[in-house]
C-alpha cells in the first residue's frame, strides 16, 4: 500500500464529493412540488450525498455484512435511533456514531 497514493485518492474523492453537493444544491428540482428552489439539504439529502459517500471513501461498508449499522437502536429510558454506528467486528464494539442533520442546521456540541 502506498500511503501517499491512498491519501491523494481520498483527497480527490472528498473534493469530488463536495463538488457534487454544491452542484446538487444549485440544480433545479425536476418536480415543481418536490422543493423547487430549495437549495438547503435536508437530513435525508445530507445522508445520501455526504455521509454515505464519506463512509465509502473512508473504507466503511454499509448494509448486510458491513461494519456500519444504519438507524441503530439505543435503549435507555426511551428508544433512540442513531443514523450511523460504526462497529469493530471483533470484539463487537462501537467505534463511531454519526448523526445527520439538515445541511443548514447548527453543529451539535458535546459539551
- Is 88 in a helix, a strand, or coil? strand
Q: How far apart are the first and last CA of the chain?
A: 39
83 has pLDDT over 60: yes
Residue 101: DSSP 8-state: -
CA–CA separation, 21 vs 49, rounded Å? Answer: 6
Q: What would the pLDDT profile of 24-80 be if each residue is shown by its tens digit? A: 877 766 555 655 555 667 888 889 888 999 999 999 999 888 899 999 888 878 878
Residue 49's alpha-carbon distances to 60, 103, 108, in angstroms, are 16, 11, 20
Does the pLDDT value for residue 13 go beyond 90?
yes
Torsion on CA atoms 54, 55, 57, 62, rounded to nearest 10? -140
Amino acid at each position: 500500500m502506498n500511503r501517499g497514493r491512498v491519501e491523494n485518492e481520498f483527497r480527490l474523492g472528498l473534493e469530488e464529493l463536495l463538488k457534487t453537493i454544491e452542484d446538487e444544491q444549485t440544480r433545479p428540482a425536476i418536480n415543481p412540488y418536490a422543493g423547487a428552489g430549495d437549495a438547503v439539504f435536508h437530513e435525508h439529502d445530507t445522508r445520501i450525498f455526504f455521509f454515505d459517500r464519506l463512509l465509502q471513501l473512508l473504507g466503511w461498508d454499509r448494509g448486510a455484512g458491513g461494519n456500519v449499522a444504519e438507524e441503530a437502536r439505543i435503549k435507555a429510558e426511551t428508544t433512540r435511533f442513531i443514523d450511523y454506528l460504526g462497529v469493530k467486528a471483533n470484539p463487537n464494539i462501537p467505534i463511531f456514531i454519526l448523526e445527520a442533520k439538515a445541511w443548514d442546521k447548527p453543529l451539535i456540541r458535546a459539551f
